[in-house]
């Protein structure tokens, strides 16, 4: 049986991870889980349970992401089984994000139109640093 069934191990994932780890070394293998994806009718009826189940199955460090703010970090790490919280949009729009967390400062406004663009003038490189923000 392949695929995820909460009554059985997710064997296809296990087989793939084991094969890749045997080829390149287990310390170089990671798995990205996107249980909250809502694309092409994919999804799970209980995405949070799926993520926790898979993280426990893999027995690896578990990094969560998805709109968390600094005030939620300790609670998320303590209650969800996560080891780390990752930031995507905040890092894309705030080149000095750790400093902003440290100072409990404001964040630059997110403009998704500037994400992953080939424009050399507008995008990641032109978001202002805290000391240059208006």
In a domain, 117, yes or no: yes
- Rounded to whole angstroms, the Cα distance separating 98 from 101 reads 5
In a domain, 121, yes or no: yes
Report pLDDT for 25.
92
Digit-coded pLDDT (tens) for 25-65:
988 888 887 777 766 677 677 877 877 777 777 777 778 88
In a domain, 113, yes or no: yes
| Residue 134: pLDDT band with limits 50, 70, 90 | low
Report pLDDT for 39.
64
Count CB atoms within 10 A of the CB of residue 22: 10
Digit-coded pLDDT (tens) for 63-113:
888 888 788 887 888 776 778 888 888 888 998 999 999 999 999 998 888
Count of domains observed in the chain:
1
In a domain, 52, yes or no: no
| Residue 20: pLDDT band with limits 50, 70, 90 | very high
In a domain, 111, yes or no: yes
The boundaries of the domain holding residue 115 are: 89-134
Contact 48, 35 (CB under 8 A): yes
Contact 29, 37 (CB under 8 A): no
Report pLDDT for 97.
92
In a domain, 65, yes or no: no
In a domain, 57, yes or no: no
In a domain, 51, yes or no: no
Report pLDDT for 7.
56
């Amino acid at each position: 049986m392949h695929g995820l069934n909460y009554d059985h191990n997710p064997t296809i994932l296990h087989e793939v991870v084991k094969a890749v780890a045997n080829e390149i070394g287990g310390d170089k293998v990671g798995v990205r889980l996107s249980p909250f994806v809502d694309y092409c009718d994919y999804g799970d009826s209980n995405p949070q349970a799926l993520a926790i189940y898979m993280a426990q199955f893999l027995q690896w460090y578990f990094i969560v992401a998805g709109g968390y703010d600094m005030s939620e970090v300790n609670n998320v790490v303590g209650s969800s089984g996560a080891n780390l919280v990752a930031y995507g949009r905040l890092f894309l729009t705030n080149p000095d994000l750790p400093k902003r967390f440290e100072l409990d400062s404001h964040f630059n406004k997110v403009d998704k139109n500037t994400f992953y663009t080939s424009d050399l003038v507008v995008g990641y490189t032109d978001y202002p640093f805290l000391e240059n923000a208006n």
